[in-house]
Amino acid sequence: MIEFDPEKDRQNKAKHGISLARASELAVMGYARQKRGSEPRSRIYGHIDGHWYCLIYTMRANVIRPISLRRAHEDEVSRYVKKEH
């Protein structure tokens, strides 16, 4: 389950052009831990509508709390996504 604050969603849409609600559509292809602040965060990489995206999130109980959803940078994809052989 995914939950987010409507104001945070508005900010994400304004900054990155995509709603946090679309995080549930992410076809996950890669993962990275992120150590920032007091709350553990993670990053996952995958596709939405054929484009690479990065979702930064935290878990609270069994709920995913998106922090940011944005287009992924090429260097992130090459670093964190396993190549198919």
Q: Is residue 73 part of a domain?
A: yes
Residue 65 belongs to domain spanning: 6-80
Report the percentage of the chain scoring pLDDT > 90.
67
Q: Is residue 55 part of a domain?
A: yes
Calculate the average pLDDT of the chain: 90
Token pair 């998106």 is found at 66
Q: Is residue 12 part of a domain?
A: yes
The answer to whether residue 16 scores a pLDDT higher than 90 is yes
Cross-strand partners of 53: 46, 71
Better-scored residue on pLDDT, 41 or 37: 41
Q: Is the pTM of this model over 0.85?
A: yes
Q: Is residue 85 part of a domain?
A: no
Rounded CA separation 4/24 (Å): 12
The answer to whether residue 33 scores a pLDDT higher than 80 is no
pLDDT in the model for residue 84: 52
Number of domains in the chain: 1
pLDDT in the model for residue 36: 67
